[in-house]
Structure 1
Amino acid sequence: MERFSHSRSRRLVPLVAVAAAAALTVAGCSSSSGGKKSEDNGTVASAGKASTPRMTVAMVTHQAPGDTFWDIVRKGAEAAAAKDNIKLIYSADPNAGNQSNLVQNAIDQKVDGIAVTLAKPDALKTVVGKAVSAGIPVVGLNAGLSEWKKLGLMEYFGQDETVAGEAFGKKLNETGAKNVACVIQEQGNVALTQRCDGVKKTFSGKVQTLYVNGTDMPSVQSTITAKLKQDSSIDQVVTLAAPIALTAVQSVSDAGTKAKVATFDLNKDLVSAIQKGTIEFAVDQQPYLQGYLAVDSLWLYKNNGNYSGGGEQPVLTGPAFVDKSNVDKVAAFAAKGTR
């Protein structure tokens, strides 16, 4: 289990673990091992796989091309779909208007459930309302913590980005950073803004916001490099995604500074970078768990009327810090592409 350095954060993983365990327990009740007949519903299933009627679930995210974070979310969703006898339709677009169209496509296909990210909730408000009006259950994941209930979603699985940012700021105080460049790779994404705002709230030093185009890595590298050359007093680069962090490491080298890099979110290469010491630490929001729980929750609702969080509270999957002290434990899972 990863170490937490923020008092509220220490309580998050146990809560999520309980929720996940409950979900798996109910799933186990829906079928019986060895293909035996269930006393509850008379259905027959192979061990570890639901025998409930086939469902179709659409997952629509704001994934940008090449962002490996979402590969982990998708793996979690696919694992739940395989267990629950669900046909999963995954689609993504970082453009909010296009993402809205993808949700409309899911509605037109009359899917049994929709899992959606709300990075830009205003752009999705109308189409989510259409899904709800059509009687399609909708759950949120990853982005939209402050908006999911307002938009009529049943449940939400993700990280409180403000809490994560505040924990990050405190961690930087411990490491001795003084002047931070917080790099936002997508303007208008409320979750990213909340992260940097959280850092500013608790960090005792200076925080500068730097906007980059996250879909163009050469541009990201040159923009960060230019900023570091322009202000040599920056001693810490904070990024909000693993690919941006890895690019920032090269920018630090190009600029010839001694600035350190820390980030939100993980992938396999980022875990390796922490092991090597080129990245100080990362905040893990457990994207595999987000994808898994979002899909599994729709199966639970369809087949047992369950609401994770009682339909009122989000199920928090982070934040957790990964650094030199615990990265080796995480690395084994990262190698499988699930962390």
Structure 2
Amino acid sequence: MDRSSHVRSRRLAPVVALAAAAALTLAGCSSSSGGKKAEEGGDDASAGKATTPRMTVALVTHAPPGDTFWDTVRKGAQAAAAKDNVKLVYSSDPNAGNQANLVQNAIDQKVDGIAITLAKPDAMKDVVGKAAQAGIPVVGLNSGLSDWKSLGLLEFFGQDESVAGEAFGGKLNATGAKKIVCVIHEQGNVGLTQRCDGVKKTFKGTTETLYVNGTDMPSVKSTITAKLKQDSGIDHVVTLGAPFALTAVQSVSDAGSKAKVATFDLNKQLVAGVKDGSIEFAVDQQPYLQGYLAVDSLWLYKNNGNYSGGGEQPVLTGPAFVDKSNVDKIAEFAAKGTR
């Protein structure tokens, strides 16, 4: 982790607050992009509030099928696209090589801008360079805070995963946790590894790492169940995504364990779990905001030459904790699919 991460996080707080406020205000007056084709958003030019010329933005992520986290990212991107008179073309693939091919497809289509995630940055390096050669601006979101500048991206919107993990570890200490298992659902994803490493850095108890196949939820369930049966001393299961937390709750029950479940990231069902107590707490990185700012930043760059963060600093969208003290307010937005 960059030594200046903590300082940078504090320095960027006003920037993030202003960006978030602007995004929420603009999203509130945006037209809905519902009913569009699955791969596109904001196709109706009349839906846009901007009077600037129509532009096309490709959003290419590493999202696996069925992960509802990315639905929220996409909703934010669609809201920005509707406001900015942008045709949004969305595609995703958890395989890094396939994701790079999707970026190449966007380059071949001569889009006006590309927003990408960098879960496996080495695989994206060459194609990002090709976008630069083609004169297409590229911004990053969600994954890749440590690599976006070295790969030549214009801007980055997301969470410092190491800082988030360290905050998570401190929260576990406050709950009295003694032994945890951190469940990584995608091996090789640098952001997920940074989360668990951050937790381990600040958590005062014992930390174990458990790898599961995130594309096979029955396997995830059985693997966590087996681990809990094998080690009754585990008092907390830490997951790195909302669907895996909800599955871990089932594993705890099946194993006859007394372990509690805490997680990174939210969805509507996860928020309900915090409310009913089956989930102890969650970290929210505001995926709606990530999608919104990524698309909006490309519009701003094309039409006014703007760089969020001055082109040198990332714009941090998290971490923020959600627990019983504030979950009712979050639930209001989760019901709309925007948190």
Q: State the TM-score, normalizing by the size of structure 2.
A: 0.90
Larger Rg: 1
Residue in structure 1 matched with residue 157 of structure 2 by the alignment: 157
The structure-2 alpha-carbon separation of the partners of 1:26 and 1:228, relative to structure 1 and needing over 3 Å to count, comes to closer
The structure-2 alpha-carbon separation of the partners of 1:7 and 1:147, relative to structure 1 and needing over 3 Å to count, comes to closer
- In structure 2, runs of 5+ residues without a counterpart are 1-5, 28-44
Distance 1:121 1:170 in 2: 29
Q: How does 1:251-270 map to 2 (within 5 A)?
A: 251-270=251-270
Distance 2:164 2:16 in 1: 16
Q: How does 1:1-339 map to 2 (within 5 A)?
A: 14-21=14-21, 49-339=49-339
User: 3-state SS of the aligned residue for 1:144?
Assistant: coil
The structure-2 alpha-carbon separation of the partners of 1:294 and 1:251, relative to structure 1 and needing over 3 Å to count, comes to same
Paired AA for residue 275 in structure 1:
K
The structure-2 alpha-carbon separation of the partners of 1:8 and 1:280, relative to structure 1 and needing over 3 Å to count, comes to farther
- Cα distance, 1:19 vs structure 2: 2.8
Is this contact kept in 2: 1:9–1:318, CA < 8 A?
Answer: no
User: 3-state SS of the aligned residue for 2:71?
Assistant: helix
CA-atom RMSD, angstroms? 2.1
Distance 2:26 2:172 in 1: 41
The structure-2 alpha-carbon separation of the partners of 1:123 and 1:335, relative to structure 1 and needing over 3 Å to count, comes to same
Is this contact kept in 2: 1:12–1:318, CA < 8 A?
Answer: no
Residue in structure 1 matched with residue 39 of structure 2 by the alignment: none
User: 3-state SS of the aligned residue for 1:207?
Assistant: strand
Distance 1:291 1:90 in 2: 11
Distance 1:246 1:180 in 2: 17
The structure-2 alpha-carbon separation of the partners of 1:24 and 1:217, relative to structure 1 and needing over 3 Å to count, comes to closer
Percent of paired sites with the same residue: 84
Residue in structure 2 matched with residue 33 of structure 1 by the alignment: none
Is this contact kept in 1: 2:48–2:81, CA < 8 A?
Answer: no
- In structure 1, runs of 5+ residues without a counterpart are 1-5, 28-44
- Cα distance, 1:18 vs structure 2: 1.3
Deviations 1:158-179 (A, max 9, x none): 0000000000000000000000
Is this contact kept in 2: 1:240–1:265, CA < 8 A?
Answer: yes
Distance 2:7 2:312 in 1: 23
Distance 1:249 1:268 in 2: 16
Residue in structure 2 matched with residue 32 of structure 1 by the alignment: none
Paired AA for residue 312 in structure 1:
E
Q: Give the total of aligned pairs.
A: 317
Query: Greater shift after overlay, 134-143 or 18-27?
Result: 18-27
Distance 1:56 1:185 in 2: 33
Paired AA for residue 285 in structure 2:
Q
Residue in structure 2 matched with residue 34 of structure 1 by the alignment: none
Distance 1:262 1:220 in 2: 16
The structure-2 alpha-carbon separation of the partners of 1:322 and 1:20, relative to structure 1 and needing over 3 Å to count, comes to closer
Is this contact kept in 2: 1:229–1:255, CA < 8 A?
Answer: yes
Distance 2:9 2:224 in 1: 30
Distance 1:56 1:192 in 2: 31
The structure-2 alpha-carbon separation of the partners of 1:203 and 1:105, relative to structure 1 and needing over 3 Å to count, comes to same
- Cα distance, 1:13 vs structure 2: 5.3
Deviations 1:220-245 (A, max 9, x none): 00000000011110000000000000
The structure-2 alpha-carbon separation of the partners of 1:303 and 1:334, relative to structure 1 and needing over 3 Å to count, comes to same
Deviations 1:70-126 (A, max 9, x none): 000000000000000000000000000000000000000000000000000001100
Distance 1:323 1:147 in 2: 31
Paired AA for residue 159 in structure 2:
Q
User: 3-state SS of the aligned residue for 1:333?
Assistant: helix
User: 3-state SS of the aligned residue for 1:298?
Assistant: helix
- Cα distance, 1:24 vs structure 2: 8.6
Distance 2:64 2:159 in 1: 19
